[in-house]
Amino acid sequence: MAGKSLLLGVDLGGTKVEAALLDQKGRVIERKRTATPIDDYPGLLTQVCNLCTDLENSAGLTTALALGICTPGSPSPVTGLMRNCNSTALNGQSLREDLEKHSRRPVRIANDADCLVLSEATDGAARSARSVFGVILGTGVGGGFFINGSLLQGPNAVSGEWGHNRMPLERVQALPDQLAYPRPCYCGRQDCVETWLSGPGLALTHQQLHGTCIDMQQIRSQQLDVKHQKTLSIYQSMLAAALAGIINIVDPEIIVLGGGLSNIDLIYSSMPKLLQRQIFSDTCRTQIRAAQHGDSSGVRGAAWLWQRG
């Protein structure tokens, strides 16, 4: 096996660690998953190193490949220490340095939204687009930009973090009376986009509107009763309001949606019309697409971090 042409990625999730070897065409050569060690940072380092060597051995490689890592958080540009990780054992750690030391290979790290957009722009739903905003709508809300062939990275390492922008005030004030606001966010701010558009945010909206638990099966099946129709209508209008702010600033060709809530098909039919009303233009040509690689975007994006060496 020609080792130099292969790419190695690891997705450090809160519940699973997944490693994959890709070839230059994005085909998965080897893949392996294990459970994430809980509150055990040294154990996690060992597990990642073992996964990498296991895959390399399975593929018949004799030299260590460079490693791309996908995490929910990111290294601070000031200290280099990890922050905002839901695998809390990672927070405050020098993950990149520690992995390089343990695995004796170069390591690059990107957060899950950056890996999603890199994966989808490379060989997924946004391939060949020059400007892409990748969105994660899941337990949390994140985002990342892929512009002119590379991830957009700035001095604060927060580009695309729209989940902690405030939801536009006029949209919040137009909500039905049952919906209490402002919603507190774990980041210390209020009415962050994440508090309304994440899975828990959607469930809270339904609970406050109707006094019952949301039925995600019903939402995905599109066989909606009146209560779920109302909840989803509010969710879609808030999603459009939040995305309109992104379009007015960056004007991406494609917005790719990933994460559990990206499986709601209604979003894709309703969003063009809703966005057209909210952006500063007489038309909205930005395309809204579902991520093609689903749960694999993290590990694929991590591997693509080394595509250009």
**Interacting residues with Zn ion (CB under 5 A):** 164, 185, 187, 189, 192
Alpha helices (runs of H) in 106-258, residue ranges in sequence order: 112-123, 169-173, 193-197, 199-210, 216-221, 226-250
Residue 188: both structure tokens together: 């210390």
For the CA atoms of 108, 109, 110, 116, what is the dihedral angle to 10 degrees?
A: 70
* Strands across the sheet containing 287-290: 150-151, 141-147, 131-137, 254-258, 287-290
Q: Taking the complex as a whole, how short is the minimal distance between the CB of residue 187 and Zn ion, in angstroms?
A: 3
Neighbour-count burial for 4-32, b at 16+ CB within 10 Å, e otherwise: eebbbbbbbbeeebbbbbbeeebeebbbb
Kind of pairing between the strands at 254-258 and 131-137: parallel
Q: Taking the complex as a whole, how short is the minimal distance between the CB of residue 164 and Zn ion, in angstroms?
A: 4
Closer CB to Zn ion, 18 or 112, in the complex: 112
Closer CB to Zn ion, 185 or 232, in the complex: 185
HSE-CB of 234 using CA atoms within 13 angstroms: 25
Q: Taking the complex as a whole, how short is the minimal distance between the CB of residue 201 and Zn ion, in angstroms?
A: 11
Closer CB to Zn ion, 169 or 187, in the complex: 187
Phi and psi (nearest 5°) for 297?
A: -60, -35
DSSP string, 182-201: PPB-TTS-BSBHHHHHSHHH
